[in-house]
Structure 1
């Protein structure tokens, strides 16, 4: 289910809770809404609101850390592609075929992670397209110390690229908000808004305020879900760094 759909459901449940609270306001006996009852409920709901704020803050922080981590990996992989190209340039025409297949591999990765068709899903699972590159790289025969050093660096960079690609994929497989935690947080928000509705007079100003607050709470859920999907949706990580690296490979002749 998309982050828009989930956050919309959360909004409906939260705001629905405030409407339920307004209905309870008229259904409950007057003595249940006395000052002592109000004070007790405010203290109890204050505890729930504090726990909800702490959990939401933790979820946002965790999602932001994952999002930044994936963004940094894209930048690191892009820089490694550029450094690989620079190492291969030391071999001159002898490495042209390797650079050609490297360009193809990077282009395939871009199309897989950032598909041109917006309806297609992003695929982070690496393809073994670099096997041929690795074999060709091993077959290069250095003619001097500079080329020997460049070959060693190129081999290490290729291994780092493979490792970073797999890490990016494996982390994405485990990165998501646990459904049970989402249900619990949503339940807490519903409870809080029910309490708002019980003590809120049903006038346009109050209802508008409750709608805005419900949007803000569901917006936090939306942001968390979007940051856990960094290669799709509204907060998609840009492919500009990888395309710049591809341009470096394309410029190499």
Structure 2
């Protein structure tokens, strides 16, 4: 289910809780709606509202930090691609094939990150390095250095290639974490109960109904932000692939 659909469902559930509160107020006996019951509901709603606000705040902060970290990792991958090309260029014309294979591997890398995030191998493994990256590594390994400078450049190019692979695996694992469904369900349940408490003792008119709808949309907007930030390579707030595409343009012949 998309993040928009989940957010809309959350808003509808909150408004459904408000409707449940209205129905309860109409059907409960008078002595169940006295001042003592009102105080209990008010205090309980305050406690639940505080807990919900804290959890939503922590979830937004955590999701934003993870999003920023993944965006930085994308930039670091782009930097390493340019660095490796520079190392191979300094190695000499013998590394031309490895550089060409690297340029050919970048579009596939972009497709794996922003396309099929959960690329699976025939054995069901959650992540499998692309053939293009293996070809680049093999081409660098096949280089036969003639002096200490070339040996050093080959070693550094292999280390950079391994660093790119490690960053890609880390990026995949972080992007696949997401928000636990049970936690999301509990937060929505708390919000629904709050809306039921809002209408249990207060008559509803057009103004209060409009305000409740705005509050529901605002709360579902917070849920939308959390879900979007936890889905950094898809949706409306996805991390752009511009740094890696720019790196592809920088790589020389």
Superposed displacement of residue 123, structure 1:
4.6
Cα contact 2:89–2:95 (8 A) shared by 1: yes
Equivalent residues in 2 for 1:38-187, closer than 5 Å: 38-115=38-115, 121-123=116-118, 125=127, 126-173=129-176, 175-187=177-189
What are the Cα deviations for residues 214-236 of structure 1, in whole angstroms up to 9, with x where unaligned? 01111111111111111000011
Cα contact 2:117–2:172 (8 A) shared by 1: no
Match of 1:224 in 2: 226
Match of 1:192 in 2: 194
Match of 2:122 in 1: none
TM-score after normalising by structure 1: 0.90
Q: How many residues align?
A: 245
What are the Cα deviations for residues 198-229 of structure 1, in whole angstroms up to 9, with x where unaligned? 13321111001100110111111111111111
Match of 1:210 in 2: 212
Superposed displacement of residue 85, structure 1:
0.9
Superposed displacement of residue 84, structure 1:
0.5
Q: 1:114 to 1:171 in 2, by over 3 A?
A: closer
Cα contact 2:113–2:172 (8 A) shared by 1: no
Superposed displacement of residue 91, structure 1:
2.2
Superposed displacement of residue 113, structure 1:
2.6
Superposed displacement of residue 108, structure 1:
1.0
TM-score after normalising by structure 2: 0.90
What are the Cα deviations for residues 80-103 of structure 1, in whole angstroms up to 9, with x where unaligned? 001001111102322211111001
Segments of structure 2 that go 5 or more residues without pairing to the other structure are 120-126
Equivalent-residue separation in structure 2 for 1:114 and 1:163 (angstroms): 17
Equivalent-residue separation in structure 1 for 2:110 and 2:104 (angstroms): 10
Equivalent-residue separation in structure 2 for 1:210 and 1:96 (angstroms): 65
Cα contact 2:87–2:156 (8 A) shared by 1: yes
Cα contact 1:114–1:231 (8 A) shared by 2: yes
Segments of structure 1 that go 5 or more residues without pairing to the other structure are 116-120
Cα contact 2:87–2:153 (8 A) shared by 1: yes
Superposed displacement of residue 40, structure 1:
1.9
CA RMSD of the aligned region, Å?
Answer: 1.7
Cα contact 2:84–2:160 (8 A) shared by 1: yes
Match of 2:243 in 1: 241
Match of 2:25 in 1: 25
Please state whether the residue corresponding to 2:130 is helix, strand or coil: coil
Superposed displacement of residue 148, structure 1:
2.8
